[in-house]
Structure 1
């Protein structure tokens, strides 16, 4: 049956850590199910959205029946009633986009490009009332015209009215202190969803807005060996006393237009802040690099306090060599930024936690949709569907923090992943040479 709640139901495909999920939840949706094939990312989503049903599967093997079954389980858990769904309001997702990305080689035959086809397949099979597809601006390049037009034609033939198929938006126009251009395609079976436009009165958020109230991690030796530490009284006061409305929102100390589920969390704990140890030579180079410029040897960009950040990048997954992406240099300190600082630049609240390692944490942020941009999209969709969701007051606990530190094989067991569908390992070229030399 269809639920009578005023909170519509959404399923997140290619969920990752949950940027789209969080934004749509804040807009008033119940994210009842999420599909993510990497067990490490699935565990992060499970920690931050413990009531959401996680389906750790490769989307290429997912059917409409799988989606509805997972959504029904999540809805039953979230609403404390046994639920069988016959309609899903919205399907959202950002298929892996490296084949179209300017950061990559833009390969026409990149096998990840077909994930966009599988997203459209699921839309046609599940037949949600609406969908939102997120991707990189490279999707709009002339060389991909035939590919994207075939996807859009399939969706239109299924009865969906499309908007956003010919232009990109910039997250910095939607309250995110980061220049991040993305394509957001909206589809609806009922009526055309309006174009997503920035609010003209919103000023650009800056790195200063994002970092205000965060402590200097150098004061915490514990952060040399772990990613969390209990804040001293002065730093607790600094976080609570921030004068940045943006930072106050993320620190969960100000009232904002947010319909998300309130979380129970420790306001005196700093998380995702494992320190990176640099050599004296690197520290000297970083210190001499001017804000807003690139360090000559590492080619790392140094952030400027009074501008938005450049686009945060993700690096590559295990299946493509596990290469670390360049991390920006802190605007006032001679070091790269922490995962928590990157999360602030992306619009994640301080209660939201990524994996405990720097590689996983930065990758999860760089691969995700900034929640404020996702919320803007969710606001547009929820109005178009005619819903007026209620604000939730009851605070919900987060998941088990141990989930953020498990090995990939342990994570796979915890989320019932299928071994055949796990991300494959790819050995780097230098590793191959080393192995050859040893034999």
Structure 2
């Protein structure tokens, strides 16, 4: 039986801008501490979650005692620790390398979980960690947890965000475990059915079969549902030099209505944030050459541009996986950004955020480069929420619906350059090595 209404507590490791933090908050958790070593990402996280503690520090230099001391956790029993150790060393998109130094961060995730001793843990990573030699890292992680008194779901699953209400095909591994004495959570069942899914049944003259249960699920919102109400940014000259403007939105879909906070969502337990519903943010325009725009215009929806290989979104389909690119110490490479389904241009950060299930009040860095990286590196909140609900169920509690409402005011946190962010976060050394430019 579920106990009285309360808010369980959590810790987010490798927090980034806060996709998993938000998803767990929406499920009913208070994420009292979040650790993020990039000072720009940490500052954005602090902006969006001003009522909790953001610790700007590498997990390699962090201890459970420090996390407890710097936050409101103290000596309380933590309900869940979650996080996605940087995954580029395992990614199917690049050169998978077991010796990549980023892979060692998985071991630090394990160390901090064992140090903090939560009831549950959730580790997110790319599908590539389940394939080939990379699987050794995953199995070693599971074995370490089991040796230290944790149960682990050995039937680990790769979940597609499109099955949980996100208009984007994005597959990620989730490894779930719990302390002895607790029941292992189940993986969330699909909540939605991706649109335009072709039947695998062969044509037959036999009588029609009853529809499968999955066909009774509501459809995943498509690209039109996600961004169809956002006015065309090229109509606003102000967006050439800043990232916000006051607009009249179009008629929203139910999905967009939720992200615009126009409808009440019964199972959303997040704290309310104040924001102006006529404000369009994170929408700085991208300048394209006439040649590029002509190529984009000639690219059919659902196909890729022949030169840039940018994918053009289809209003009736899903977005492809939004990727992050690389940090400055790894070349500062920009990942391909989808082409808008109607206008021959790349989508804006806000449009990407909609396709990732971020609400409109959630803010990103004012530069396109950092904004897209923060989205591409994050877990879609609705996917994180689906996983977090399973933890809530295993805890056998009913989350408390918060009455508090917060204003997000200090926009300076969204505008820092790296040196400014390092100074604000009181870092004594460079958090990330600067890119070396060729002379």
Answer whether TM exceeds 0.5 for this pair. yes
Aligned twin of 1:372: 382
1:118-152 per-residue CA deviation (whole Å, 9 max, x = no partner) reads 00111111111111110000000121232221111
Q: How does 1:28-427 map to 2 (within 5 A)?
A: 28-72=28-72, 84-163=74-153, 166-189=156-179, 190-199=182-191, 200=214, 201-231=217-247, 235-236=248-249, 238=250, 241-242=251-252, 244-256=253-265, 257-419=267-429, 422-427=431-436
1:272 is displaced (CA, Å) by 0.3
Q: Deviations over 1:56-110 (max 9, x none)?
A: 00100111101211332xx6xxxxxxxx333111111000000000122111100
Check the 8 A contact 2:187/2:387 in 1, yes or no. Answer: no
Aligned with 2:54: secondary structure? strand
- Match for residue 203 of structure 2? none
The answer on whether the counterparts of 1:11 and 1:71 sit within 8 Å (CA) in structure 2 is no
How far the C-alpha of 1:187 sits from its partner, in A, is 1.0
Distance 1:407 1:12 in 2: 24
More divergent stretch after superposition (393-402 vs 32-41): 393-402
Equivalent position SS for 1:47 = helix
Label 1:408 to 1:12 Cα distance change in 2 as closer, same or farther (>3 A): same
Unaligned runs of 5+ in 2: 192-213
Give SS of 1:419's match.
coil
- CA distance in 1 between counterparts of 2:332 and 2:230 reads 29
Looking at structure 2, the residues matched to 167 and 426 of structure 1 have their Cα atoms a distance apart, in angstroms, of 37
Give the drift of 1:426. Answer: 3.6
Q: Distance in 2 between matches of 1:270 and 1:164?
A: 44
1:79 corresponds in structure 2 to none
Contact 1:34 1:55 in 2 (8 A): yes
Q: Aligned with 2:157: secondary structure?
A: coil
Report the 3-state secondary structure (helix = DSSP H, G, I; strand = E; otherwise coil) of the residue aligned with 2:121.
strand
- TM (normalized to structure 2)? 0.91
Contact 2:157 2:175 (C-alpha < 8 Å) held by counterparts: no
| TM-score normalised by L of structure 1 | 0.91
Q: Supply the RMSD in Å over aligned alpha carbons.
A: 1.4
Q: Which runs of 5+ in 1 are unaligned?
A: 76-83
Residues 162 and 418 of structure 1: CA distance in aligned 2, closer, same or farther (over 3 Å): farther
Find the residue that maps to 1:388 and give its secondary structure: strand
State the Cα deviation string for residues 215-248 of structure 1 (Å, max 9, x = none).
11111110000111122xxx14x2xx42x11100
SS of 1:106's equivalent? Answer: coil
2:245 and 2:280 in contact (8 A); partners too: yes
Q: How many residues align?
A: 409
Q: Secondary structure, in 3 states, of the residue corresponding to 1:183?
A: strand
CA distance in 1, matches of 2:428, 2:77: 27
Distance 1:255 1:67, change over 3 A: same
* Partner residue, 1:78: none
Q: Which whole-Å CA distance do the structure 1 matches of 2:425 and 2:154 have between them?
A: 34
Q: Is the 8 A contact 1:207 1:307 kept in 2?
A: yes
